Amino acid sequence: MSKFQLQTRRLLLRDFDITDFDQVHEYACQPEVSRYMEWGPNTKDDTRRFLIESIGLNSKDPRLDFELAVILESENRILGGGGIHVSSRANNEGWIGYCFNQDNWGIGYATEAAQALVEYGFNNLQLNRIFATTAPGNKASQNVLQKVGMKHEGSMREHKLVRGAYRDTELFAVIKSDFQSSREP
């Protein structure tokens, strides 16, 4: 089966492969990467499980879940991961997420990858609404979401129980009509 891929100016987003393990584990075990996440820092077993689950999504038909490696094409190097998931086909709603190796932060890669995921969601997955959630302190991710056209819709109080403590979640979303009007000349 041919691998799914999305191309951007600098990046290739493609299905994970088990041979990606070392590069994925390098960022998945970084404490700063999982600081605002519900998972991690990963053990090797956690990363192996993540990769096997992500690769398992590739053979589903219809395909509603995409967890992808984000590659810097010029160096053929994995910068991080990003995904888009159809959470409700009935409502044409989906969500995106991403995380990058700390060595690659602040160069616009997350924005470029998130933009590609949003475009794929509206143009190919027929979504009408795409959302993302962040921890309240995760300003870098909130910036990325706003830069790809998402609006802050509110805070869900004590939404997640993370490492033994409840925390709020910030909800961001973009709808298809916003996306289309942002493309008009």
Ligand X SMILES: CC(C)(COP(=O)(O)OP(=O)(O)OC[C@H]1O[C@@H](n2cnc3c(N)ncnc32)[C@H](O)[C@@H]1OP(=O)(O)O)[C@@H](O)C(=O)NCCC(=O)NCCS
Q: Which of 3, 44, 139, 151 binds ligand X (CB under 6 A)?
A: 139
By CB under 6 A, residue 150 contacts ligand X: no
Identity of the residue, 143 or 182, whose beta carbon is nearer to ligand X in the bound complex: 143
Q: Which of 16, 50, 95, 109: binder of ligand X (CB under 6 A)?
A: 109
Spatial separation of the C-alpha atoms in residues 133 and 167, rounded to whole Å: 12
- Is residue 96 within 8 A of residue 83, CB to CB? The reply is yes
Among 52, 140, 156, 161, binds ligand X (CB under 6 A): 140
> In angstroms, how far apart are the furthest CA atoms of the chain?
49
41 forms part of the interface with ligand X (CB under 6 A): no
Residues 152-181 that bind ligand X (CB under 6 A): none
Question: Among 98, 122, 131, 179, which residue sits at the site for ligand X (rule: CB under 6 A)?
Answer: 98
Q: Which residues contact 41 (CB under 8 A, 6 or more apart)?
A: 28, 29, 30, 31, 33, 34
Stretch 55-84: interaction string toward ligand X, x if CB under 6 A? -------------------------x----
Q: Where are the alpha helices (DSSP H) in 13-172?
A: 21-28, 31-34, 44-56, 109-123, 139-147
DSSP, res 158: E
What is the Cα 179 distance to its own chain's centre? 18
- By CB under 6 A, is residue 143 in contact with ligand X? yes
Which positions lie near ligand X, rule CB under 6 A?
33, 36-37, 80, 97-100, 105-111, 134, 138-141, 143-144
